[in-house]
Amino acid sequence: MAVNGIASIGECMIELSGQSGDNWRMGFAGDTFNTLWALHALSPDRPATYVSAFGDDPFSCDQIDFFSENGIGIGGSPVIAGARPGLYAITLTGAERAFTYWRADAAARRLASDPAALAKSLENQALVYFSGITVAILDEAARKTLLTAIAAARAAGSLVAFDPNYRPRLWSSREAAQAAILEALAVADIALPTFPDEQMLFGDATPEATAERLGKLTGEVIVKNGEQPALIAANGNSQSVEAVHVATPVDTTGAGDSFNGGYLAARLAGHPPADAARRAHKVAAAVVQVRGALAPFETLRAAFDS
């Protein structure tokens, strides 16, 4: 069977976003799900699968239903009796966001608890995507199971993309994060780091230093840097691609994740890296003009094709 699907692995949480006064809006989001959302919007002919683990509580059921309503399956992801999803709340100062998390016992930490089901979920995927948060929420044994499954999917023909997405509070130490992220990069074809994260974790002085370091580990590196240009290093060449400036952003949540989704959708469609980055910047610019991490599919498509 030809590889055609897109799969993203990680933790999708309950998202509470502050509105006016004491009003809050509930949704579902998380770094790898945000990327899959954009990927699915921009690659609608490819089956989309979110690979995780879920509880059997009403919120988990609503989450799975939300995926299904938007054309996203969960493959062989386990549904665990008594488990529940993680939760985070976004508070905004202008367009800049701050997060508060409740996730220590989230079901997603058991996404590698059934190795056979995990491997089955990654079969026949044109693209497998995961992040530093995916590996951070797993213990050492589960992380090994995950990377083994991803390596097998890659050997079977899947393109593997990885965003290191370093979040210090999820790690026991900086050294533990460095080791795990380097192991993850060893099974990846495309790396999508964010420069301030790499500067914090590895001490890189410039985006060029990040691209050079990661270019020794993966064939294609895209260094994101907020409103600054993205730096692409692929096939022995490097190129900067200007970001799209948004004068009055509404909410920057999910911008980098959506950039990843736009970039990967463009690469799957055959666009060269520089054009893919230009399209990805447009997608990210559209996302910061709506509240929450998930922009409507039509908004994402219009930006991608503009």
37-41, 101-105, 112-116, 223-227: segment of lowest average pLDDT: 101-105
Beta pairing class for 48-51 and 96-102: unpaired
CA distance 228 to 241: 9
Q: Is the pLDDT of residue 194 over 80?
A: yes
pLDDT of residue 25: 84
CATH number of 12-305: 3.40.1190.20
Burial class (CB in 10 A: 0-12, 13-18, 19+), 283: buried
| DSSP conformational letter for 56 | S
Higher-pLDDT residue of 222, 98 = 222
Strands (E), 167-275: 190-191, 220-223, 230-234, 237-241
All structural domains of the chain with their residue ranges: 12-305
Using a pLDDT cut of 90, give the percent of the chain over it: 84
Amino acid identity of residue 122, one-letter, is: L
Q: Is the pLDDT of residue 1 over 80?
A: no
Residues 129/112, Cβ–Cβ less than 8 Å: no
pLDDT of residue 95: 60
Catalytic residue status for 57: no
Length of the chain measured in residues: 306
Residues 185/218, Cβ–Cβ less than 8 Å: yes
Where would I find the H helices in 85-173? 115-121, 132-136, 140-155
pLDDT of residue 19: 63
Residues 191/221, Cβ–Cβ less than 8 Å: yes
Q: Is the pLDDT of residue 20 over 90?
A: no
Q: Helix, strand or coil for residue 13? A: strand
Residue 131 tokens read as 């992040």
- Report the chain's mean pLDDT, rounded to a whole number: 94
pLDDT of residue 16: 87
Higher-pLDDT residue of 148, 26 = 148
Residue tagged active-site, from 31, 163, 251, 257: 257
Amino acid identity of residue 168, one-letter, is: P
CA distance 194 to 181: 13
Amino acid identity of residue 33, one-letter, is: F
pLDDT band at 192 (very low <50, low <70, confident <90, very high): very high
pLDDT band at 94 (very low <50, low <70, confident <90, very high): low
pLDDT band at 253 (very low <50, low <70, confident <90, very high): confident
Residue range 32-74, pLDDT digits in tens: 999 999 999 999 999 999 999 999 999 999 999 999 999 999 9
Burial class (CB in 10 A: 0-12, 13-18, 19+), 172: exposed
CA distance 306 to 271: 14
